Amino acid sequence: MDLKTQLLSELSRRNADFVIHAVGDKELYFRELIAFILEEKDPLPMRAAWVVEGITQKHPELITPYIPELISELRNFSHPGTRRSLLKIFARTEIDKDLQGFLIDICFEWISAEDKTVAEKVHCMQIIANHIKYYPDLEREFMEILEEQAPRNSVAYISRVRQIKKQLIRQKIVL
């Protein structure tokens, strides 16, 4: 399959699902998708990231070798869809300790950024919430930022803040 041609042929859930199914757990095709994300010009990285996000739902092990480079390049992706898909993957993936600080810093920055979409922000929230158990000193700053940003954001943002608070309460982190 010519992945590049297929991804560029149509921007639709149907096409993304077709590519997700066709690639499956094939590492060679997966590696090609990662190369599109890292090396190509928009819109290809966004479409490839969308497919990678779908593939990693069933085959999370495929992303592991690429996480360090994807995290280190995260700020360089221009399309919000590329960032959103990668953040969604990182939110459900165990991140190596040596990369956590860098990723958490980005997430704190982007939660407050006016130029980031709500989808990017909610995935950033989830990433930070997932790591609070390792860095409990961040909890207070995290809660303050979420509350401070709530009036500047949408109902979806506020809803996610509530979910994050409930998650942290369940984890007995927020008292």
Distance CA 56, CA 47 (A): 14
CA distances from 104 to 45, 108, 109, 110, 132 (A): 23, 6, 9, 10, 10
For residue 24, give its domain range: 1-93
The single-letter code of the amino acid at 122 is V
Could you report the per-residue pLDDT of 21-80, keeping only the tens digit for each?
Answer: 999 999 999 999 999 999 999 999 999 999 999 999 999 999 999 999 999 999 999 999
Residue where a domain stops, chosen among 54, 78, 93: 93
CA distances from 57 to 38, 88, 105, 141 (A): 20, 10, 25, 31
Instruction: Kindly state whether residues 89 and 164 are assigned to the same domain.
Output: no
Instruction: Kindly state whether residues 27 and 106 are assigned to the same domain.
Output: no
Tokens of 67: 């996480």
- Please tell me the total count of domains within the chain: 2
**Does the pLDDT of residue 86 top 60, yes or no?**
yes
Distance, CA of 92 to chain centre: 8
CA distances from 123 to 47, 53, 76, 108, 117 (A): 18, 13, 17, 11, 10
Instruction: Kindly state whether residues 75 and 128 are assigned to the same domain.
Output: no
Could you report the per-residue pLDDT of 102-150, keeping only the tens digit for each?
Answer: 999 999 999 999 999 999 999 999 999 999 999 999 999 999 999 999 8
Instruction: Kindly state whether residues 89 and 100 are assigned to the same domain.
Output: no
pLDDT band at 175 (very low <50, low <70, confident <90, very high): very low
Instruction: Kindly state whether residues 80 and 125 are assigned to the same domain.
Output: no
- On the 0-12 / 13-18 / 19+ scale of CB atoms within 10 A, 33 is buried
Instruction: Kindly state whether residues 87 and 101 are assigned to the same domain.
Output: no
Residue where a domain stops, chosen among 57, 77, 93: 93
The pLDDT value recorded for residue 173 is: 53
- Quick one: which of 66, 71, 116, 74 has its CA closest to 98? 71
Instruction: Kindly state whether residues 6 and 86 are assigned to the same domain.
Output: yes
Instruction: Kindly state whether residues 162 and 85 are assigned to the same domain.
Output: no
The pLDDT value recorded for residue 109 is: 97
Residue where a domain stops, chosen among 64, 93, 122: 93
Q: pTM of whole model > 0.85? A: yes
The pLDDT value recorded for residue 153 is: 86
Instruction: Kindly state whether residues 32 and 45 are assigned to the same domain.
Output: yes
